Homo-oligomer: A and B are copies of this chain.
Amino acid sequence: MRVLLVGAGGVGTAVTRIAARREFLTHMIVADYDLSRAEASVAALGERGARFGARRVDASDCDAVRRILLEERCDVLLNATDPRYVMPLFTAALEAGAHYLDMAMSLSAPHVARPYEECGVKLGDEQFALARRWEDAGRLALVGMGVEPGLSDVFARYAADELFDDIEEIGVRDGANLTVEGYGFAPSFSIWTTIEECLNPPVVYERDRGWFTTAPFSEPEVFDFPEGIGPVECVNVEHEEVLLIPRWVDARRVTFKYGLGDDFIAKLKTLHELGLDATTRVTVPGDDGPVRVSPRDVVAACLPDPAGLGERMTGKTCAGTWVKGTKDGSPREVYLYHVVDNQWSMREYGSQAVLWQTAVNPVVALELLSTGDWSGKGVLGPEALPPRPFLDLLTAYGSPWGMREEN
């Protein structure tokens, strides 16, 4: 399998480190806007880097990406950029006749009149609008194939297939006890994406009502995370699982709640009140006169690079799917989860836990596609495909998942 990996940031670099240890990969081109970053990620692989190459690419330039896919004869494009670049990369893969994987879906736009009650453009809408063209081309766009969305969707399908007869609610719950020494505030994941998902109106699915939105940070609940992480306050956040799961899994309600914590929520609210979450450019003095910049890019530039925090970070991160329903006539409640200890991921891969956990899942998916255990065409979410092969291969990668019976 020949793969074009676009994005050599924290997740992309972790992808190379995981993929380098697997046999299924014939060649991987690592492409980034900053060529030196792509080259550094390949150089860091040492002897294992023989199957890798680096190129410069602007992810917003659909034509340039298509040309690289064709020149390098890639079977698949793995998108490890931030969600702004989903549509050009998704389109480039379609035009080049390649398969496509991403870990976040095309962006939403709030409902103009009732943003906190009704959906406007939903996450992934732009991608699903092109589903027919992918089907006709006989190619697969596997969307939302990171950890959340991704593994969390696989868990949902696994619960529906093997653990429940009837599902009342599926709630993805994400929490961590990570701390970074020496920083008052150091998000463990791309702040650009975190702002996007936390400040957009959260989306909820109910079978009787369809998709709808709420005010940001709604329905707070304390969720008890496993493996020593413990209770964390979680709130509704806009996330792909809520859009993906109901398309393939039957449940009366689907939610996503993120364990942000009070301090993080307060900071995000302040960024919003000050207009610093905006992506619309403002004019400010530059070195040679006025320049136009996006405030959110400036926020990101002021914070430490999440990929560089691994050495100072301690703790574990947990992604998982809580499911409530009935089995054999009895009520049942389970939490299916995947925990990564930062100490382990740093020792084994030199990658920070949150980034490593995001990166491992698309590599598992690529391997399943290369072996034929997974196959399909059109625009599919991870829950459209059989969950067992995925969960078994993830365990074989040395990173097992777990299940907790809630009663």
Contact = CB atoms under 8 A, between A and B. Distances in A.
A329 interface: no
7 contacts: A275-B302, A276-B276, A284-B297, A284-B298, A285-B293, A286-B291, A295-B298
Contact of A274 (B275, B286, B292, B299): B299
When A and B form their complex, which 8 residue pairs have the shortest distance between CB atoms, in order from nearest?
A275-B302, A282-B301, A284-B297, A291-B291, A270-B270, A298-B298, A184-B273, A185-B273
Given A267-B270, A270-B267, A295-B298, A303 B287 contact: no
A266 interface: yes
Contacts of A282: 298, 301-302
B298 A287 contact: no
A294 interface: yes
A218 interface: no
Nearest to A185: B273
Interface size class of A (residues with CB under 8 A): 20 to 34
A294 B284 contact: yes
A276 B302 contact: yes
A278 B303 CA distance: 12
B302 A292 contact: no
A326 to B, nearest CB: 46
A194 interface: no
Interface in A245-300: 266-267, 270-271, 273-276, 278, 281-287, 291-295, 297-300
Interface of A: 184-185, 266-267, 270-271, 273-276, 278, 281-287, 291-295, 297-303
A273 B284 contact: no
Contacts of A184: 273
Given A293-B298, A295-B298, A298-B293, A274 B287 contact: no
A307 B294 CA distance: 24
Nearest to A300: B284
Contacts of A298: 276, 282, 284, 293, 295, 298
Contacts of A302: 274-276, 278, 282, 295
Given A271-B274, A287-B291, A295-B302, 14 more contacts: A185-B274, A267-B270, A275-B302, A276-B298, A276-B299, A281-B287, A282-B301, A282-B302, A284-B301, A285-B294, A285-B297, A286-B291, A291-B291, A293-B293
Contacts of A301: 282-284, 295
Contacts of A299: 274, 276
A283 B298 CA distance: 8
